[in-house]
Each structure stands twice: as structure tokens, then as C-alpha cells.
Amino acid sequence: MTKIGYIGLGLMGAPMARNLMKAGHELVVHNRSQEIVKMLEGEGAIAAHSPKEVAEQVEVVFTNLPDSPDVEKVALGEDGIIEGAHEGLIFVDNSTIKPETARTIAEKFSEVGVLSLDAPVSGGDIGAKAGTLTIMVGGDESAYEKVLPLLEVIGKTITYIGESGAGQIAKAANQVIVAGTMVAMAEALVLAQKCAVDPAKVVQAISRGAAQCWALDNKPARLFKRNLDPGFKAHMQAKDLKIVVDTARSYQIAVPQTSLAHQLYEAMIAMGNGELDNSAVVTVLEALANTTVQSDTDLS
């Protein structure tokens, strides 16, 4: 049994923390919103009042936070993890942040003897609940080997990529493809609908051919029912795409398709739909085509 800290108990973090606890590990938790903390307390977790207090009590501390400034504040700020640093502590960040931020945090932690891993995840809330996430890891390889049994509790496909920041680069590449396939799927559904062809029948026809992808396998049935509840929120998708675009600019890489996808997600936010699922980018294309994707065909 390992004593673990988990900071950031949102849509992804809470089920990941629960899985670690269900695996028999002692859990110390902290979150800005206290409702989920109280729920996890009721399930056996220990509440802490600050990231510092979490770090002081545990062997490994995980974070899962919205953006780079949030992780930097929790890790390095006042009452942050670094103030509770002690010999043997390992920091694992499951957030999606800028690679350069991951490298800065790792460097600062190394100065106080803390090993760091950037370990962003993919798979949405479904994967978080099921413990089947894809985890991309950068940082100290010896730390990776030590925490691998914990990562295997929350993920199914776990890959050590390389030095600090490498996990975040892999996640950026992942988001290029995730956003691209979500937008492509949305365009295909709107095309079928506008041409007066049942989009569900189109999905049935193409989903086992060369067009097969995770988005097409998992999202259309929900979209046809107008179930746009988030598995991964659109505003977070937009944030991740900004990281891709900014990183590409830093390395002088052209990412035209991803730049367009980023604009579509920003348009979705401007429409007031940023809290919806990232597949709801279809609403932007529906508005442009003056149509609504719908079907009564059962895709089960």
C-alpha cells in the first residue's frame, strides 16, 4: 500500500482518485471545491487544507488541474507542494499543460530532491471511471518505474516517452488527432443531414471502413439523442489546442488543420457551449449549415 495525495478532483481527477483508493492505497485529497472532498472523505480518504499539507503526508502526489498556471501555483506557489517537499517524494502531474511548464516544475522540484513526471492522460471520463486511460509519461525514468504500479491502476496503455516535457508533447500530438477527428465526424454528419440522407445509416456504412475512428465509434449515438453532456469539455479541448498551436509556433511548425479546429472550438465557446462535450463542436457546423443532425436509427 502506498500513501498517495491527489489534488484536483474534477471530472477526471475524482474517478482516478477513487480507483487508487479502491486498489487499497491510502489517499489524501485536496480540491478547491469542497463538495467532492467531503464525498471522498465519506469513502475513506483524508482531507488536507493545502497542497503543502498533502505533500507532507504522502509518498506520491498526483495533480489533475485545468491549465499550466494552475499546476504551477499548486506545485510551486505559497502553501504549494514544494513547501511540503521531503526526501523520496514523487510528483506526478496528470494535467495537460505546456511542455515548458512541465520542464520548469521538474527543474524546481529537482532542486529540493523531488522527482517529477508529466503524465497527461487521454480517454475522457469513461476511461477515468473504468481505469482504462492512456497515459503518456515524461520525466525521471527511475520515478516512472517506481510509480508504474499506481499508473496501472488508473490506466491501461502506459508509455514512457522520454525526459521532462515529453509526456506533454505526446499529449499535444494526441489532441491534434482527437480534435481533428471530432471536427471531421461533425462535418460528415452535417453533410449527410443537409443532403437529406440519414446520418446514422451513413455512420453504419463507414464506421468499419477506412473512416473508422474512436469519435465515430463513440459519439454519434449520443449526438443523435442531443446528449451533449461532457465526457471532455469543449473549453478544455480549446485550451489543449492552444497549447498545440503555441508549441508549434515555438518550434516553427505549421499546424493548419489544428489551427482551424482551435478556431471552431473557440467559436463554440463564443456560442455559450464551452461546457458541453467536445463532440458538440457539431453545433458550430450545424449553425453554419442551418441544420440539426438527427436520426431515429438505432446504432446499438
From the candidate CATH numbers 3.40.50.720, 3.30.70.360, 2.60.40.10, 3.10.20.30, the one assigned to the domain spanning 3-162: 3.40.50.720
What is d(CA 113, CA 27) in angstroms, rounded to the nearest whole number? 22
- The domain locations on the chain are 3-162, 170-289
- Alpha-carbon distance values, 110 to 42, 60, 120, 162, 171 (Å): 35, 15, 20, 17, 23
Q: Known catalytic residues?
A: 171
Determine phi and psi for 61, rounding to 5 degrees: -120, 125
CB 83 within 8 A of CB 111: no
What is d(CA 114, CA 75) in angstroms, rounded to the nearest whole number? 11
pLDDT digit string (tens) for 62-94?
Answer: 999 999 999 999 999 999 999 999 999 999 999
Structure confidence at residue 8 (pLDDT): 98
Determine phi and psi for 120, rounding to 5 degrees: -65, 155
Strands 90-93 and 46-47, sheet pairing: unpaired
Structure confidence at residue 1 (pLDDT): 85
The fold of the 170-289 domain, in CATH, is N-(1-d-carboxylethyl)-l-norvaline Dehydrogenase; domain 2 (1.10.1040)
pLDDT digit string (tens) for 83-125?
Answer: 999 999 999 999 999 999 999 999 999 999 999 999 999 999 9
Q: Which residues of the chain have pLDDT under 70?
A: none
C-alpha cell at 90: 514523487
